[in-house]
Amino acid sequence: HSNDTIPWLYILISTSCWTITYLLVYFHMRKPEYSVRFVTLLHALTSLCLCFYICVFKSPFPLFLSSMGLQNTWWHNMGMTYSLGYFLFDLTWSLYMQTEKPIMLAHHVVSIFGFLLCLKYGVSGCEILATTGGAELSNPFLQWRWLLQQQQRLDTDVGRFVEHMFLLVWFVVRMGVGTILYVAVILSSNPLIAVKFGANCMFTVSCTFTYGIL
């Protein structure tokens, strides 16, 4: 399985692009939290579309047991490198600004570990991109909710709509479809033990997030 080729140059380029995007937004807005959340929203929307395209049109259906642990294609490597650069940027920003709770830092570390693992061994790109796309689906509502909270408009009809949509997407996609994907990875004999370990870590993080929401 091992091809010993982590595309460090492309990861550096991806991380640099996300950092430059943040700096451009920051120089315009002069608000670090607003700027980083804009970058987060941009990643959520673009990676969601990218992951959907790759998983639907460039991969076997990711929820089938037979789809687990397969060799990566160029599309898988590109999608993972794209999001890995973002997570490296956001983890660095979060550590520097000290704004995030330990569970969010753990989420980023697990995500980075997963991307690097799948790039290193050249397998399971389909599963990790399906996980990324599903996780990012709720992110736009999370950012919208934060913006309404900053404007003290959370207790309005729009605020309640955003809250309900976030919860709906979270429980249906992240915890519903996400659990199906997690079980498929664990039950399939194809994925590496390290990939199964990463799936356990990410599922634990998701359950912890869910406990905090409840």
> Residue 56 corresponds to which amino acid?
V
Q: Of the candidates 103, 101, 47, which has an alpha carbon nearest to the alpha carbon of residue 79?
A: 47
> Which tokens hold the place of 133?
């796309």
The residues with which 123 forms a beta bridge, in sequence order, are: 71
Instruction: Compute the distance between CA of residue 187 and CA of residue 201 in angstroms, rounded to an integer.
Output: 16
Instruction: Compute the distance between CA of residue 66 and CA of residue 62 in angstroms, rounded to an integer.
Output: 9
**In which band, very low, low, confident or very high, does the pLDDT at 2 lie, cut at 50, 70 and 90?**
very low
Phi/psi of residue 93, nearest 5 degrees? -60, -45
Predicted TM-score (pTM) of this structure: 0.94
Q: Of the candidates 195, 204, 205, 201, which has an alpha carbon nearest to the alpha carbon of residue 120?
A: 195
Which residues neighbour 114 within 8 Å (Cβ) at sequence distance 6 or greater? 128, 131, 195, 198, 202
pLDDT recorded at residue 188: 93
pLDDT recorded at residue 62: 82
User: DSSP 3-state assignment of 75?
Assistant: helix
Q: Of the candidates 7, 200, 203, which has an alpha carbon nearest to the alpha carbon of residue 122?
A: 7
Per-residue pLDDT tens digits for 82-127: 999 999 999 999 999 999 999 999 999 999 999 999 999 999 999 9
**In which band, very low, low, confident or very high, does the pLDDT at 4 lie, cut at 50, 70 and 90?**
low
pLDDT recorded at residue 53: 97
Helices (H), the chain: 8-29, 32-57, 74-97, 102-121, 125-136, 139-150, 157-169, 178-187, 193-213
The residues with which 94 forms a beta bridge, in sequence order, are: none
Per-residue pLDDT tens digits for 22-59: 999 999 999 999 999 999 999 999 999 999 999 999 99
User: DSSP 3-state assignment of 123?
Assistant: strand
Three-state secondary structure of 125-149? HHHHHHHHHHHHCCHHHHHHHHHHH
